[in-house]
């Protein structure tokens, strides 16, 4: 396991009105990874980012980045962290080039035209460099925010809902940008509502709800541990009961015996192999079927399931 | 890559530059409008009415009002510029960048307050230049005048910064300059010497802190004042110290800046 670039311990935040946004959060982020923080609205994702980036004052706990305690050596830590906020907050009357140059200087870096050009070109903003930000579309404004965050070459980048309100093409384009950043060694923490996004890009996933981290694990490990295959087999003739050779599979009869539903597997292809064996067993038992619908559970299914379980438990 | 990091000079310079650029982008509002307003004062009070007034303390009336008019514009514009400079990022949400950057109270003040003070000095120079078109005057202690204007500009830039952090609406942002600073400046001897007021108003007028500022600046211009220059200077330095302490408190506690 690579060294943690960010360590959060016992982090809590209670707002003035008494709302507990973070509750004893423990989290280590590894160098060079893409970490996706998933959670429903109001789960505490943005507060967590705000606490690390200096926008929110924690009520308790410690945060250290690059070995610097953020409560003490915050300048050195912040100089290496970038933030793309959720809201499209930019100086609308500033030009793209000046806004990005300003961000670089604000973080203590000398002017570097080549670097600014590189960032703007990588985000296809170069042609718009002299435009006022207010003249740009929502997607382009989002890119400007990313360019501003990248201008000082951060080693740790927070992307708070980076593709919110962005069309599908642009979203996929941004995924490429994020992958390219990772190639350069930038550690990325992103929050997202699009679980597809986490599934596509993340190395590890954290699920947060009501300020508490419910789970942190490698995405593939989660999929393997909690992923399931569901197959619905539409039978030619309804069955009253299952023969013994079929009952050994994790199946149940539905729709008055007209459908056989399989739920099982390991999220790593084992379920599909099981379904193949099941169909052979059906034929061997003389049971005919008209169709099969197979569906592997996504990270979204796992996420929704976990959050529902928690809600039911409470 | 930066490891240990001390004062962020580039950060402070970036804020300073950007704030000045903002002023030039809104040059009409920042520079031309105050000049027009001040010119109107010179025309009405200096030329039209002033020609019928007796000299005050040996100074022609049109010249007598220059320090007061300068102070009137300086206080209003400095406070407004500085408060607007920090209020707008709070209002639009762009303050996230400042709060997440490696800049602290010193860099922020040098950037925002330094830029507001610079704008005020430019404005003061433009107003004094404009005044020469309407009246002949000489500044008796130019270095003192420059220093005093600097001090007032810095103090009220800090004050404006506090106002911009405190305000949670555009209405509140405008209340202090319009409803407090401007009336107090008018009543602080801009157009008259406090000695001209009948008792007990000449004493009551000394409860107005702006009167000390107008008087102090007038002393640097003509060597005469309603109150001692030492008192004016002391009061201004005290105000500067209080504002600095309040801003340090704001940054330490994150009041109205960090949630």
Chain B nearest-CA distance from A44, in A, is: 13
Q: Residue A199 in contact with residue A219, Cβ under 8 Å? A: yes
Which residue do the tokens 């003739």 mark? A237
Low-confidence ranges of chain A (pLDDT < 50): none
Q: Residue A11 in contact with residue A70, Cβ under 8 Å? A: no
Using alpha carbons, select from B8, B169, B181, B170 the residue that is nearest to residue B79: B181
Q: What distance in Å separates the CA atoms of residue A15 and residue A9, rounded to the nearest whole number?
A: 19
First-residue to last-residue Cα distance in chain A: 34
- What CATH number is given for A228-296 in this structure? 3.30.70
Contacts of B4 in chain A (CB under 8 A): 73, 76
Contacts of B13 in chain A (CB under 8 A): 105
**Per-residue confidence band for B4, with pLDDT thresholds at 50, 70 and 90:** low
Strands A229-235 and A68-69: unpaired
Q: What distance in Å separates the CA atoms of residue B250 and residue A270, rounded to the nearest whole number?
A: 59
User: CB-based contacts of A262: which residues, under 8 Å, 6+ apart?
Assistant: A229, A230, A231, A232, A233, A249, A250, A251, A271, A274, A275, A278
pTM score, two decimals?
Answer: 0.84
**Every domain of chain A and the residues it spans:** 4-224, 228-296
CATH class of A4-224: alpha beta
pLDDT at B44: 87
pLDDT at A51: 96
Q: What are B166-214's pLDDT values in tens digits?
A: 999 999 998 888 889 989 998 988 888 888 888 888 888 889 999 999 9
The answer to whether A112 faces chain B, any CB pair under 8 Å, is no
Chain B nearest-CA distance from A149, in A, is: 9
Under an 8 A CB cutoff, do A85 and B259 touch?
A: no
Under an 8 A CB cutoff, do A55 and B18 touch?
A: no
Is the pLDDT at B161 greater than 80, yes or no? yes
Using alpha carbons, select from A12, A34, A70 the residue that is nearest to residue A162: A34
* ipTM, two decimals: 0.86
B224 or A131, higher pLDDT: A131
pLDDT at A225: 74
Q: What are B108-126's pLDDT values in tens digits?
A: 999 998 998 899 899 999 8
Is the pLDDT at B2 greater than 50, yes or no? no
pLDDT at B51: 78
Q: What distance in Å separates the CA atoms of residue B173 and residue B105, rounded to the nearest whole number?
A: 21
Name the residue in chain B with its Cα closest to that of A74. Answer: B102
Within 10 Å of residue A276's Cβ, how many Cβ atoms?
12
Is the pLDDT at B38 greater than 60, yes or no? yes
Q: What distance in Å separates the CA atoms of residue B201 and residue B198, rounded to the nearest whole number?
A: 6
Q: What distance in Å separates the CA atoms of residue A32 and residue A67, rounded to the nearest whole number?
A: 16
Name the residue in chain B with its Cα closest to that of A85. Answer: B96
pLDDT at B3: 43
């Amino acid at each position: 396991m690579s060294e943690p670039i960010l360590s959060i311990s016992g982090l809590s935040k209670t707002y003035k009105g008494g709302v507990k946004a973070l509750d004893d959060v423990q989290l280590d982020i590894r160098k060079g990874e893409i970490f996706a923080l998933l959670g429903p609205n109001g789960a505490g994702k943005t507060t967590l980012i705000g606490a690390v980036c200096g926008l929110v004052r924690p009520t308790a706990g410690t945060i250290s980045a690059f070995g610097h305690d953020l409560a003490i050596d915050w300048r050195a830590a912040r100089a290496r962290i970038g933030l793309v906020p959720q809201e499209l907050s930019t100086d609308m009357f500033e030009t793209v080039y000046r806004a990005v140059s300003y961000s670089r200087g604000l973080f203590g870096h000398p002017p570097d035209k080549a670097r600014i050009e590189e960032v703007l070109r990588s985000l296809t903003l170069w042609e718009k460099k002299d435009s006022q930000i207010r003249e740009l579309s929502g997607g382009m404004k989002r890119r400007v925010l990313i360019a501003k965050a990248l201008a000082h070459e951060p080693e740790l980048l927070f992307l708070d809902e980076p593709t919110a309100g962005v069309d599908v093409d642009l979203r996929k384009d941004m995924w490429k940008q994020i992958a390219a950043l990772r190639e350069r060694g930038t550690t990325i923490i992103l929050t997202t509502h699009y679980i597809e996004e986490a599934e596509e890009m993340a190395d590890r996933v954290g699920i947060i709800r009501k300020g508490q981290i419910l789970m942190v694990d490698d995405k593939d490990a989660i999929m393997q541990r909690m992923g399931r295959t569901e197959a619905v087999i539409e039978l030619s003739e309804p069955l009253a009961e299952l023969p013994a050779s079929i009952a050994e599979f994790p199946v149940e009869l539905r729709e008055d015996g007209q459908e056989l539903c399989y739920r099982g597997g390991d999220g790593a292809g084992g379920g599909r192999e099981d379904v193949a064996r099941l169909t052979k067993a059906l034929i061997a038992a003389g049971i005919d079927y008209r169709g099969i619908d197979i569906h592997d559970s996504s990270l979204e299914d796992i996420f929704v399931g976990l959050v529902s379980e928690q809600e039911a438990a409470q | 890559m930066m490891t240990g990091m001390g004062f962020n000079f580039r950060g402070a310079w970036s804020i300073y530059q950007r704030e000045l650029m903002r002023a030039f982008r809104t040059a009409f509002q920042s520079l031309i409008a105050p000049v027009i307003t001040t010119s109107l004062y010179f025309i009405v009070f200096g030329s039209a009415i002033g020609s019928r007034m007796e000299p005050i303390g040996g100074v022609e009336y049109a010249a007598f009002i220059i320090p007061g008019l300068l102070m009137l514009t300086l206080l209003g514009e400095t406070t407004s510029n500085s408060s607007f400079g920090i209020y707008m990022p709070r209002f639009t949400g762009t303050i996230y960048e400042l709060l997440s950057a490696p800049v602290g109270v010193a860099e922020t003040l040098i950037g925002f307050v330094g830029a507001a003070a610079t704008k005020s000095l430019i404005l003061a120079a433009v107003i004094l230049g404009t005044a020469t078109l309407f009246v002949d005057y000489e500044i008796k202690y130019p270095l003192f005048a420059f220093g005093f204007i600097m001090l007032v500009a810095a103090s009220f830039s800090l004050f404006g910064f506090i106002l911009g952090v405190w305000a949670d609406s555009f209405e509140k942002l405008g209340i202090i300059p319009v409803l407090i600073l401007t009336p107090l400046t008018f009543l602080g001897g801009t157009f008259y010497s406090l000695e001209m007021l009948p008792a007990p108003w000449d004493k009551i007028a000394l409860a107005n802190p702006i009167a000390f500022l107008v008087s102090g600046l007038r002393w640097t211009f003509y060597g005469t004042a309603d109150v001692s220059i030492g008192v004016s200077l002391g009061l201004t330095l005290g105000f500067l110290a209080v504002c600095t302490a309040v801003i340090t408190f704001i940054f330490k506690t994150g009041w109205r800046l960090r949630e």
